[in-house]
Structure 1
């Protein structure tokens, strides 16, 4: 498993892949932060007013990154789906299985490496958002004094944890799609179609479904319980259970399916 973990970092750290991923998350975090602070005095997407007083609270420091938590999740989903499905399409999986015949260990090692990569990417996005928040706060009339207190640092830490868990939930969807479909384009397209339009359409037509749809639950976790009225602890528990089931199904399929590439 350790060798599989190490080997997975080789394609992840290739300049084109790594810089492309970092560029995407930086663009997302900058977009979310700029729009959040320039929305002061107006209403957000849900019709709630955005005020300088609210952003001056300790939790205001992470609101820019949380505003684009869906986009961060989409990047995590796409990265994991492309990495796992790419082993099939590029014909490298059979060579990997020669070096590590134990399929479960191989896949778990790859998943751990991808999970750590996602967490690092979220950290970069949050750091960029944090720096930009301090720069934009005076322009929007937002006080930063509460951000530098113990409560502010705790909010920053919990925000990072929530964004990481939420993004990993999206990544689990991408991992399952990659193992089932075995093609990067198909895995990304199908998983994104389910995560975005399908779940959003269902939840808007039938609101109670939000409490049980996996991506909606992960979105609730990513925003720290600010998306809808469901308790954060319940969303976290259900989301983690969904992610565990998806990964278990992926491992079982990976172990039992014939490898033709």
Structure 2
């Protein structure tokens, strides 16, 4: 498993893949932070007023990157789906299984490496958002005093953990799609189609479904309970169960399916 974990970092750290992924999440962080601060004095997507007083609270520092948590989740889903399904399409999985014939250990090591990579890129996005927030705050009349307090640092840490958990939930969807479909394009397309239009349509037509749909729960976790009326603790429990079930199903399919690529 350790060998598989280390080996998975080789393609992840290739300049083209790494820089492309970092560029995507940094662009998302910049977009979310700029729009959040320039929304001061206006209303957000849900119609709630955005004020300098609200952003000056201890949890205001994390709000810029939380605003684009769904985009960070999409990146995490796409990265994991592309990495795992790419092993099938590129024909490298057979060689990996020769070196590590224990399929469960191989996939577990790969998933752990991908999870660590997701946390890394979410950390990069958060760092960019935090730095830009301090730059934009004075121009928008937002006080940064509470951000540097003990409560502010605690809220920043909690917000970062929530973003990572939400993104890892998206990653679990990408992993399952990759194992089931075994093609990067198909896995990403199907997973995104479910995560975005399908769930959003269901939640819009039948609002109570938001408390049980996986992606809606991941959004609730990523925003620390701000995205939906579902209590955060309930969303976290349900989200963990969903993610665990998806990973377990991926492991079972990976172990039992004949290798044809």
Q: TM-score interval w.r.t. the shorter chain?
A: over 0.9
Q: CA deviation at 1:62?
A: 0.2
In structure 2, the partner of 1:101 is 101
| 2: CA distance, partners of 1:164 / 1:8 | 20
In structure 2, the partner of 1:213 is 213
How many residue pairs were aligned?
Answer: 261
In structure 1, the partner of 2:244 is 244
1:11 matches 2:11: yes
Q: CA deviation at 1:167?
A: 0.1
Q: CA deviation at 1:228?
A: 1.2
| Structure 1 unaligned spans of 5+ | none
In structure 2, the partner of 1:184 is 184
The RMSD of aligned alpha carbons is 0.3
1:88 matches 2:92: no
In structure 2, the partner of 1:260 is 260
In structure 1, the partner of 2:112 is 112
Secondary structure of the 2:227 match is coil
In structure 2, the partner of 1:147 is 147
Moved segments of 4+, more than 4 Å: none
| 1: CA distance, partners of 2:134 / 2:232 | 28
| 2: CA distance, partners of 1:144 / 1:128 | 16
Secondary structure of the 1:7 match is helix
Secondary structure of the 2:137 match is helix
| 2: CA distance, partners of 1:194 / 1:21 | 22
TM-score (norm 1): 1.00
Task: Tell me the alpha carbon deviations over residues 146-198 of structure 1, each in whole angstroms, 9 at most, x when there is no partner.
Answer: 00000000000001000000000000000000000000000000000000000
TM-score (norm 2): 1.00
